[in-house]
Amino acid sequence: MKQFGGYPSMNDTTQSGRPKPAAAKTVQEYIDELPVWSDGTRLKTSPMTGMQWRIWSLAATGKFFEGYVVFMTGVALPLITRQFHIPPGVNGIISAASLAGILFGSVLLGGLSDYFGRKRMFIAEMIIFCAFLALLLLCSNFLSLAICLFGLGLALGCDYPTAHMIISESVPSTARGRLVLGAFGFQALGALGGTGMGCLVLVLDPDLSAWRWMYATALIPALIVTLGRFFIVESPNWLAVRGEHEAAEVSVTRLLHREPRYPTNIMLVRPETSGEHKLRSKPSFWALFNKRNRRATIFASVPWFIQDLGTYGIGIFTPVILAAAIGGGPDHIRSLSDMIANSILAAKGAAMIDVLLIIGILFAIALADKYGRIKLQIIGFIGCAAGLLLASFSIDFAGEAKVAFIFAGFMLFDFMTNLGPNAQTYLIAGEVFPTEVRGMGAGFAAAFAKIGAVATAFLFPVLLASIGTRALLYGLIATSIVGAVITWMYRIETTGVNLDEIGRDEDSQSVASKKVAA
């Protein structure tokens, strides 16, 4: 009796041992199909194949690099500012450069995956990332540095929709939430790794040029990941929507390769009319705003924009804020050694706070498929507001009490943002759009969100100096509450919903609700 994943033989063959004739199914139906015992008992979950895990791991590393590079900038910023003699008024350009690249990369490059394929863009983004990372190490002035950071952002922006889609279109619907968020959680690991590596490099090389070694640590791993992405399959969902059904069947076969083979025969459903398929295979950007997709576009974009206002502002400038609170601020820096010591102290504090990002995403992974995206996003927004309010109390205290309120507030904020809006907005944006515009929709949502991130990164130091910490935190508290309200008003629950059904009806919410109820 042959074995399948430790189970007895499946009823995918006739009594003579020949494969049963396959009934035509969609790509997602094959991916979601549960192996069946000979007595009719189905497995509770569909076993992941080696190819599915390979795709997931290569996508997860892309999210790691994003957190690594963006949050490392917070540690490197004081060194870069001093080495290139950057005036305080334009400090924000360095922080905003990579975020601006993410903005343009999301909408300009991410949407290209709808035309050229998920795999091609998955590879192209890493080539761009490696090229600009290598050039960054050779920068000799402020302008070249800003351009290279922008180029890194282009690659990371393309990764936002592409990595999500290449996972979500390759894994079972029931596990999609935790697998996508599991990969997204590597952004938090990257944030912790980038902050920690920045601290380590400063300890080993307390010099102004230490920021170059910080970024250099990502180059070799990035090249390895780039090579690995050549050895995955193209998204069969995308191939099927394009009408390349034979290629899609081959891709599904490779994607679901198991020993012994299951399913044995793959035959995909063909569209009823070529005219209908032609319309679906050549989407327009403006399709995101038609009656069918408008609600999804608002729901995917606006809450993500709101959460990026706080997440990137607090995330990037946590070392700066802690340096001011713990180290005494710029007035106490009289030499290079003072600045290095201050940066190390702040980086250690930021790394400790960033641990809560990881804990938050672990809770999100565990709960997203159980309680749904909407509940977690709303609870997360409210929790972020509570954390920022707690941090604002530090203004009225001094010494240890001041530091305690800052740490408690930021740690609560980091936990709630990754439990809720930071994780769920990313997950939702890659789910609420139909396959033919999923790349453009997710790319637009990420780009729209990064408008908030760029604005925050650029204006945060200016606002911090002009209106003060209290007013700035109160403003972010208000936007978090607005994010919870918008989430409830435009909610579309996608938990456990087959991606083939997303956008099929005008009211996708009713489809999702029925699935969740079932």
Length of the chain: 518
pLDDT at 37 > cutoff 80:
no
How far is it, in rounded angstroms, from Cα 114 to Cα 436? 7
What CATH number corresponds to the domain at position 204? 1.20.1250.20
Residue 296 token pair: 């999804």
The per-residue pLDDT for 82 is 82
Note whether residue 101 is domain-resident.
yes
Average pLDDT estimate for 460-468: 73
The span from the CA of 243 to the CA of 255, in Å, is: 18
pLDDT at 161 over 80: yes
pLDDT, residue 264, reads 76
Domain total of the chain: 1
Three-state DSSP state, 13: strand
**Range of weakest confidence among 10-19, 45-54, 334-343, 499-508:** 10-19
pLDDT of residue 22: 54
Q: Shortest CA distance to 35 belongs to which of 2, 1, 8? A: 8
Spatial CA neighbour of 312 closest among 84, 100, 64, 78 = 100
> Residue 497 is part of which domain span?
50-234+282-517
**Confidence label for 439 from pLDDT (cuts 50, 70 and 90):** confident
- Kindly state whether residue 264 falls inside one of the protein's structural domains: no
Q: Where are the beta strands (DSSP E) in 341-396?
A: none
Residue 254 forms part of a structural domain: no
Q: Is residue 272 part of a domain?
A: no
- Residue 179 domain-assigned? yes
Q: Is the pLDDT of residue 10 over 50?
A: no
> Is residue 398 situated within a structural domain?
yes
Put residue 305 in one of left, alpha, beta given phi > 0 → left and psi -120 to 50 → alpha.
Answer: alpha
**pLDDT reported for residue 130:** 95
Burial string for 463-486 (b: 16+ CB within 10 Å, else e) reads bbeeeebeebbebbbebbebbbeb
Residue 18, pLDDT score: 47
**51 three-class SS:** helix
* Alpha helices by DSSP H, 84-117: 91-104, 113-116
Query: No. of H helices and E strands in the chain?
Result: 20, 0
- Residues with Cβ < 8 Å from 286, sequence gap 6 or more? none
Distance CA 369, CA 495 (A): 6
Question: How far apart (Å, rounded) are the C-alpha atoms in residues 111 and 442?
Answer: 8
Average pLDDT along the chain? 80
Q: Are 195 and 74 in contact (CB under 8 A)?
A: yes
Share of the chain above pLDDT 90, in %: 27
Residue 339 is predicted with a pLDDT of: 54
- Cα–Cα distance measured from residue 427 to residue 418, given in angstroms and rounded to the nearest whole number: 12
Q: Name 239's Cβ contacts closer than 8 Å, sequence gap at least 6.
A: 117, 245, 247, 248, 251
Q: How far is CA 54 from the centre of its chain?
A: 18
Q: Tell whether 56 is covered by a domain.
A: yes
Q: Is residue 37 part of a domain?
A: no
